[in-house]
Amino acid sequence: MSGTAWREWLLTDTPHSRMQARAAALYQGWLAFRSNTLAMFGLGILVFLLAVAAFAPVIAPHDPYYQDLANRLQPLGTEGHSLGTDSLGRDILSRLIYGSRITLYIVALVALIAPVAGLIVGTVAGYVGGWVDMVLMRITDIFLAFPRLVLALAFVAALGAGIENAVLAISLTAWPPYARIARAETLTIRNSDYISAVRLQGAGPLRIITKHIWPLCISSLIVRVTLDMAGIILAAAGLGFLGLGAQPPSPEWGAMISEGRRFILDHWWVATMPGLAIFTVSLAFNLLGDGLRDVLDPKSEK
C-alpha cells in the first residue's frame, strides 16, 4: 500500500473495522499534536535526552567518575572539557550525560508507580462510594495537606537516603492528584447508560472498573503525568541537593548543584550547567504536556 493510500485509509470517515477506527484516531491525534510547534520542540528535547542516555558510554568524552585534581575547576571551553570540570577535576559534560540516565530512571519509576496507585484508589472510591469513598478520600486529603517536598523529605528520612528510597518517597507523595482525577472521571460515568447496559449483561464491578472505566481515565492521567514530570524532576533534584537522593559519586543533577554551590561566585559553571539541564528537561515535559492536553482533552476545542 502506497503512502497516499495509507493516508486515505487513516483519514477515512467510514472505518470498516475497530482496528482501522483506532488507527485513524491515533493518526488524527498525531496530526493535531504535530501542528503544535512548542509541543514538538518539547518532544524533540525528550527524544534527544533518551538518545543521550542510551548512548552515554559512546557520547561521553570522559569517565564521569574519574578524578583529576590537577585540572579541578577548569572553566568552560577548556581543551578536553567543553563544560569545564568540578572541584574534583571530573568532566562536567560527561557527568551531565550519565546523569540523564538517573533522571530518566526516576521519572520512569515514578510514572509507573504513582499514576497506577492513584488510578486504583480513585476508581474504587468513585465506583463503590459510601464509606469506602469517604475513607479513601480522607486519606488522600491528608497526603494533599502537606507540601510534596516536605512529605518526601519525611519519607526519605524514615526510609533512609538512596535513589530507590527517593523514588518511593516521591511516588508516595505524587499519587493523590491522580486519585482525585480518577474519582472525578468515575463519578461522571458510573451511572451512564452504557455502564448500566454492561452491568445488565452480568459484568461484575472488577470487570466494569478495569475494562470500561479505566480506559476512559487514561487520557486525563497521561496529561497530568506529563505535566507533573517537571515537579517530579525538581523533587528528585531537591532530595539530591539535600543529600537524601542519589549518593556520591553518582552524577545526579541535584547532587551536582549541591556540590557546586560552594563555588557559585567564582566558578559558576559547576552548579549552573546541571541547573540548566534540569530547567531544559522540565520545560520539555511542560511543553509536551500542554500539547497532549490539547489533543487528549475531550472538552478542548478541536
Q: What is the mean pLDDT of residues 10-16?
A: 69
pLDDT of amino acid 211: 85
Q: What is the mean pLDDT of residues 222-230?
A: 86
Does 302 have pLDDT greater than 50? no
Q: Which residue has the cell 533534584?
A: 237
Does 52 have pLDDT greater than 90? yes
Query: Which one has a higher pLDDT value, 280 or 197?
Result: 280
Q: Give yes or no for a cis peptide into 249 (omega within 30° of 0).
A: yes
- The pLDDT tens digits for 242-261 are 888 778 788 889 888 888 88
- The pLDDT tens digits for 177-199 are 999 999 998 888 888 888 888 88
Residue 77 falls inside a structural domain: yes
**Contacts (Cβ under 8 Å, ≥6 apart) of 176:** 118, 140, 141, 143, 144
What whole-number distance in Å separates Cα of residue 288 and Cα of residue 227? 8
DSSP state of 247: P
The residues facing 85 across adjacent strands are 91
pLDDT of amino acid 260: 86
Would you say 28 and 45 are in contact if contact means Cβ atoms under 8 Å apart?
no
The pTM score is 0.85
Q: What is the mean pLDDT of residues 135-149?
A: 88
Residue 212 falls inside a structural domain: yes
Residue 12 falls inside a structural domain: no
Would you say 57 and 77 are in contact if contact means Cβ atoms under 8 Å apart?
no
Domain CATH number, residue 88: 1.10.3720.10
Residue 103 falls inside a structural domain: yes
CA nearest neighbour of 122 among 139, 110, 109? 139
Task: Categorise residue 247: left if φ over 0, alpha if ψ from -120 to 50, beta otherwise.
Answer: beta
Q: What is the mean pLDDT of residues 290-298?
A: 78
Q: What is the mean pLDDT of residues 258-270?
A: 86
What whole-number distance in Å separates Cα of residue 238 and Cα of residue 153? 9
Total of domains in the chain: 1
SS3 85: strand
Count CA atoms within 13 Å of residue 183 on its CB side: 23
Band the pLDDT of 3: cuts 50, 70, 90: low
Residue 13 falls inside a structural domain: no
- The pLDDT tens digits for 92-113 are 999 999 999 998 898 889 888 9
Does 146 have pLDDT greater than 70? yes
CA distances (Å), 69 to each of 73, 74, 88, 261, 272, in order?
Answer: 9, 10, 5, 19, 21
Share of residues in the chain with pLDDT > 70 (%): 94
- The pLDDT tens digits for 26-46 are 778 778 888 889 999 999 999
Share of residues in the chain with pLDDT > 90 (%): 29
* 8 burial via Cβ count (<10 Å: 0-12, 13-18, 19+): exposed
Highest mean pLDDT among 94-108, 160-174, 212-226: 94-108
| Residue ranges making up the domain that contains 68 | 18-296
- Cell numbers at residue 239, please? 532530595
